[in-house]
Structure 1
């Protein structure tokens, strides 16, 4: 047994990194690297660095970590920088002599701009910033990608509400996170679902609530909410012949003044459920329960199903026309579409709903795999690259510029992020900063200490809440 410790930072890296300390030029002293999303269809909403720092970078490296790592790495067939790690423990009590700068979490930054930068603060540890690339880049790209896609979705829904609804007040609850069971791990859900909460207030991922308390100061305030909801097992357990009783039980158990209850209604025949059960047998129950019934289709072509469901519900329950000229169902009945939702389908469904004459206010969406799992590092082409090295007291720009792929050309020098004269964000070299320009990259972590700690509430405000 070589190791069972997932919290050993020395082992939280790619194997080939263990040999890199021998590959740098003689007299290397400092290495500076940066993180960016090189391209993509959406602006970057930066998120997740604080969680990573609090979880992995505040505990000092120990001799036990070094011993364990040496055993694993040498058996794995690679050289191990024992003297370097021992020197870190001896000289810095195991705390990382690095400086991490980043834009404030929740910042909205166009792609191809620096959002994070790392450099060592002690020349003995020139090899350390790049050694941390695997863990640091992974900590940033995933939650930032989810937050970026979620923000895009929020703007799509907001535009539809502005066009077709009298109010956008319900926007924070218009995209509900259904992704917990589809994530690759509990930590994936903790980070991804939490990233969605930068933009929305509805989730069924309780792990995100724990994460918000653990990493983002939400130990006293509830960051997100949910409602009682049916699944197919609880409906089909009654049998097809007692489908009406199954639905009636949902209203009896969870109805009431101000309450919302969601009922999946396509176990057998969605149209029969709408026309004959909800819209006939249980119509009085729905109208008089004092709360809101949210009917959930869960199969078929989302745009077609949503539009037909709204049309049938309007026939049974009526609809009013709002100030924008779109039909709105009574407050006691709404629809939630949670099947087949992704950033691309969302806009198509909303367009179909409005083209059918209905307000976007009638529909809420649930999103699972399309939000948390159908993303990867290439979704926004995330990369961390070395851009400057100090050798024998002299800083030099370094970069890559592959003749076979100009899109992978990297930036040069120590970097800064500024607002230009037109108010646009722009990446420049740090030594090009004028006295009138503010570097939007701020020190977040220096020599083992987290310098800035934001709450989720603060981060949300940066996105325009």
Structure 2
């Protein structure tokens, strides 16, 4: 039994759909869009990874045999003739064409981002068969990349108001989500999607994916950091020794080191250890100590930590009138961080005249796991079918769910006269450029997109 059998990468009911289309069916054209949700636009990302990982390996006779046995035992029909046609006539490669916007493109909601159609009339059923795998492979990295980018907008806004520059923006949201993701592949895709917008991560599998699927030599960075086990291993009585060891091992000119400091009492750690017995070492360490207050209500914890550190170590007032800790010390908050809590923390800091440049955020489950397909109302729908040589529109328009109304016909995406993206019917394209470009056809990846190109398109 192989979990990599593409024929079984499907919802059960899809196995019976080849018997449900009208006689004379030849081609089915479907599209993907975001129909609504919490954001006004979405970052298109993840298609190339799916193609490279799943669509370039041909199906085999063993795959067909395995799928037939399983689906029959499962209570469903199996289109053996259809899959054997793909094996014999197409070398096991799926006769499909996928056209899409370039990855990293930011597309307003309610627009086509991807269109897929079969290239062999005998495989009219294949377009919708691939929906399960294709939707799952794209909604998740797109949603992570979109949310990450929306948070980047928020942080950038506060930096513009309270800091002298946006130089540190690429490292203001650090990925702590690897262990909270539902699987290695989830961490891989989500970690990579976050790196479209930021360069800080502890999710190594995201780096691996960015290199494997998009050619990124090194997409993100991290620093030595403590966890509670390495600090509490010293015992409460030797907490100061644990912190001193972190400086011994990792501090120095140009270096950064992060130390979780709430194992027992964050206020004691700030006042009496970092600001007491180790104060001179912190000042003279040559690099930057990043203190992590990891528990408590995030808004009050961050602002109070900054106030105490400023009282102990001093601060400067920048050109915009906001206070900034000395370069040798900063704060990272990694508990309770989400797209909802970050603006609350930054607003509270702003009200206390604390620059947003004092803090970095570490985001875990809310970055990679607390997401679903409904955040962007992500969907793939069939919109056109060719029967006996003639194209016909397909659409749904539920009386009880008008928000689920789908588009009709074969589609194109254009930039209209006002500079906005707009979905039009393919036959109405005329001389205008279709932003949907063929990416995959019959087992071949037609264009290679680099991670740098993705980042450039998604940039604020």
TM bucket (normalised to shorter chain) is over 0.9
Q: What is the correspondence of 1:207-218 to structure 2 with a 5 Å cutoff? A: 207-218=205-216
Q: Distance in 2 between matches of 1:380 and 1:340?
A: 23
Write out the 4+ residue segments of structure 1 that deviate beyond 2 Å after TM superposition. none
Q: Note the C-alpha offset of 1:453.
A: 1.1
Aligned residues: 459
Partner of 1:272: 268
Q: What is the correspondence of 1:317-328 to structure 2 with a 5 Å cutoff? A: 317-328=313-324
**Residue 410 (str. 1) matches residue 406 (str. 2):** yes
Partner of 1:442: 437
Q: Note the C-alpha offset of 1:51.
A: 0.3
**Residue 111 (str. 1) matches residue 109 (str. 2):** yes
1:143-163 CA-to-partner distances (Å, cap 9, x unmatched) read: 000000000011111111111
Aligned residue among 227, 230, 242 for 2:226: 230
Q: Note the C-alpha offset of 1:428.
A: 1.1
Q: Note the C-alpha offset of 1:165.
A: 0.6
Q: What is the correspondence of 1:17-416 to structure 2 with a 5 Å cutoff? A: 17-42=14-39, 43-218=41-216, 221-416=217-412
Q: Distance in 2 between matches of 1:208 and 1:332?
A: 29
Q: Note the C-alpha offset of 1:222.
A: 1.2
Partner of 1:457: 452
5+ residue gaps, structure 1 = none
Q: Note the C-alpha offset of 1:252.
A: 0.7
SS in 2 for 1:194: helix
Q: Distance in 2 between matches of 1:137 and 1:395?
A: 25
Q: Note the C-alpha offset of 1:318.
A: 0.2
Partner of 2:8: 11
1:206-236 CA-to-partner distances (Å, cap 9, x unmatched) read: 1111111211112xx2111100000111111
1:275-301 CA-to-partner distances (Å, cap 9, x unmatched) read: 111111101000111010000011111
SS in 1 for 2:427: helix
SS in 2 for 1:343: coil
Q: Distance in 2 between matches of 1:304 and 1:356?
A: 11
1:235-275 CA-to-partner distances (Å, cap 9, x unmatched) read: 11111111111111101110011000000011111111111
Q: Note the C-alpha offset of 1:446.
A: 0.8
1:370-427 CA-to-partner distances (Å, cap 9, x unmatched) read: 1100001111111100000000011001101111010111111101111111101111
Q: Distance in 1 between matches of 2:418 and 2:37?
A: 23
Q: Note the C-alpha offset of 1:434.
A: 2.2
Q: Note the C-alpha offset of 1:111.
A: 1.1
The TM-score with structure 1 as length reference comes to 0.98
The TM-score with structure 2 as length reference comes to 0.99
Q: Distance in 1 between matches of 2:379 and 2:219?
A: 31
SS in 1 for 2:242: helix
Q: Note the C-alpha offset of 1:41.
A: 2.3
Q: Distance in 2 between matches of 1:368 and 1:192?
A: 11
Q: Distance in 2 between matches of 1:41 and 1:374?
A: 14
5+ residue gaps, structure 2 = none
Q: Distance in 1 between matches of 2:281 and 2:157?
A: 34
Aligned residue among 416, 419, 423 for 1:423: 419
1:24-81 CA-to-partner distances (Å, cap 9, x unmatched) read: 0000000000011110222100110000000000011111111111111111110000
Q: Distance in 2 between matches of 1:118 and 1:314?
A: 57
1:297-320 CA-to-partner distances (Å, cap 9, x unmatched) read: 111110111000000000000000
SS in 2 for 1:61: coil
